[in-house]
Structure 1
């Protein structure tokens, strides 16, 4: 059986920490070593991004993150346009050994309004 993206996202949500905007913002505010990771494609991030966020498209996370963040306990808040790619990316980061990864499962415009 072939799994759809929705099925993979639902399975990933059972294995990772998913946060609403308020919880993500509170965690971000009280953390020192942190990154807000935007996993949308580069063109979308260039049009509109969160202040102080890092854009690494979902397909490049495994190649780029280890060189940028070597401390596995760094707070990583992952977002995308609607939560699906963020969820899948958070699962990948968790499998890579990052222990403080959370997907923000919300629409980008709402995240931007809260964080900027």
Structure 2
């Protein structure tokens, strides 16, 4: 009985880990080439401000699935956009850039979304 339980547990772990996709992940100031295993969706978040004229892009893994596609929101000339996808390395593209004022704006935008 213990052997059957161990086999079942190993099978569940193998099935769960095989469902993970690979996503690019970049923290501010990195080159966005780091790959991570993701159980949910790959995301790309872009925040732009017309006041400073800077755009910041972040790539990450959402631990839960998000419907494929993009959502955009604008507040006082600042734009935030998040895109989600569910295939390996689907969040490729633009390199990440750091802008402290824009990161503050992105956090504020998050409160209104």
Query: Normalising by structure 2, what TM-score?
Result: 0.27
Judging by fraction of residues, say which structure has more strand: 2
Q: Comparing both chains, which one has the higher relative contact order based on Cα–Cα distances under 8 Å and sequence gaps of 6 or more? A: 1
Judging by fraction of residues, say which structure has more helix: 1
